[in-house]
Chains A and B, each alone.
Chain A
Amino acid sequence: MFPSERHSLHRFLAIYLLSTLSLIAAGSAIFYQYASHRIIDHQNETLKLKTAAIRHKLSDLHDTFTPTLPYPAVDGIETALFDIDRNFLAGEFRPDHVAWHRDFWQDGSRLYFRYEIRPFFLGVATVVARMPLDKTPLHTLRLKLLAAFVLAILFIAVVARWLGRLFLAPMHRSITLLDRFIKDTTHELNTPVSTILNNVELFRSIHPELENSEELTRIEIASTRLSRMYDDLTFLLLNHRRHRRIESLDFAHVLHERLVYFRTLMQRKGLSVTDEIAASVPMHIDKEDAVKLIDNLLSNALKYTSAGGKISVRLTTVSLTVEDTGRGMRPEQIRRAAERFFRADDSEGGFGLGLNIVKEITDFYGMDIRIDSREGHGTKVSVRWAS
């Protein structure tokens, strides 16, 4: 699977799973509300039935004229008796609050029921009954819902992955074709470019009088540019299969070497170059990666800075900064600058691979990359690493 394909699949999975899970969560919440209300309603009915039994007991007591009367208790519930003026008469508990406008209510973990007695046996007009809420069915319901939720997540994840792969199949075919095309092209490009460069060098050695020939120089620059494109493409294509030789090297020395090459190109374009390079910057890095990192930063600065502009290069023991006074980028272009094949300005050549290669290298070595740019003012790219 290609990185872009994997990225798309992950985004699809995230959106699909999140939206589906939100929907399931909302559905579960509604179902839980409905089911829990049914459970509580069932318990309320039980409370109501038990409370109704008190009416007969009160009726019997009303016709009993003994000095003491046993309280009309009912098994499983507690009751309190009130007269028509809502005065508390007697009870197994004294409620702090009675919802006189409701038949049922709940207070924490207890269910309450208000029962009207007519006629008023023993003067009792209202019986307030309560019983503890049985939470076991609610716990069981929650467990069942949780289990269903987990199973739904697993099922949806499997379906989402399958769907994702199905949708991405055309994209996979296109990328494979493009990948094969680039491989074939780069392979076919290498031989002629090398031939041109070798022959330019040979031509110069045979004809020393043409050493400073403008035509030869143009051929050489164009071929070098083609050669760099080839290098970039092969780097990206073989990046994950390439064996890196990570060794201790002096990054300052590599930068000096690359600046010698780029300084000529920059001066030819009429750019002024300043550098501030630490004496020695030892790093553990593959030399090809180091060269690619430096070359792409300098190449971008060279490409996007007009004649008369300035390029400054600064290397410390923990960072490399390349700053130019070129055309700069807009904020949305900065965000996409490290994407593969993205070019901020189509008027310039290239495949839009430079910063993507830099990003791949910095990611591999755990370096931080920061791009600051203002349109019309220039760009500053900083790469930082641990000392």
Chain B
Amino acid sequence: MGKLILLLGLTLPVLCAPKTSLTRCMQCHATSAPPFPMIYRRYLMLYSSKSRIAAHMEAFLRKPSAKGSAMPEGMKSRFHPQNHPAFDAKSIHEAVSELIRTEDVVPRLIVR
């Protein structure tokens, strides 16, 4: 019974969440793959601007590989980016745009 509740607890948020371009990504990134906030911060630290982040993310998603991944070596060996599924260009572009929009840190900065 306990196991059933745990399984429901993990899958329900994904199943009940509104369908977006990230829904498909969340199936893994909510559980076994690195979480989006962490990925976005990593890209922010390396590429700074949104346009550059988008370009690098899309390049990786079009042709996933351990070499093309921006994540640190420890994460690469743990999550195997070369096994990341490939998607069509439109889906990638929409997903990356949404990721950047949802994880953007600028609106979160509160100037007092």
Which residues of A are interface residues toward B (Cβ below 8 A)? 62-63, 65-71, 73, 83-85, 87, 89-92, 119-125
Contact = CB atoms under 8 A, between A and B. Distances in A.
Contact of B108 (A68, A84, A87, A124): A68
B52 interface: yes
Contacts of A63: 41
B111 A123 contact: no
Contacts of A124: 48
Contacts of B49: 83-85, 87, 123, 125
Contacts of B79: none
B47 A65 contact: no
Grouping DSSP codes into helix (H, G, I), strand (E, B) and loop, the B interface class, with mixed when no group exceeds half, is helix
A123 B44 CA distance: 5
B5 interface: no
Interface string B97-110: 00000000110111
Contacts of B47: 84, 120, 123
B46 interface: yes
A90 B46 contact: no
Nearest to B105: A122
Contact of B44 (A69, A73, A90, A122): A122
Given A120-B46, A123-B105, A85 B51 contact: yes
B108 A83 contact: no
Nearest to B45: A119
A63 B46 CA distance: 14
B111 A120 contact: no
11 contacts: A69-B105, A69-B108, A69-B109, A70-B110, A83-B49, A84-B52, A85-B51, A90-B109, A90-B111, A120-B44, A123-B50
A85 B110 contact: no
Contacts of B19: none
B45 A70 contact: no
Interface in B1-60: 37, 41, 44-53
A65 B111 contact: no
Contacts of B108: 66-69
B48 A120 contact: yes
B112 interface: yes
A185 B5 CA distance: 140
Looking at A68, A70, A123, A124, the one whose CB has the most chain B CB atoms below 10 A away is A123
Contacts of B41: 62-63, 122
Contact of B45 (A71, A73, A89, A120): A120
B111 A84 contact: no
Given A71-B110, A90-B106, 11 more contacts: A68-B108, A70-B110, A71-B109, A73-B112, A89-B106, A120-B45, A120-B47, A121-B44, A122-B44, A123-B47, A123-B53
Interface string B77-112: 000000000000000000000000000011011111
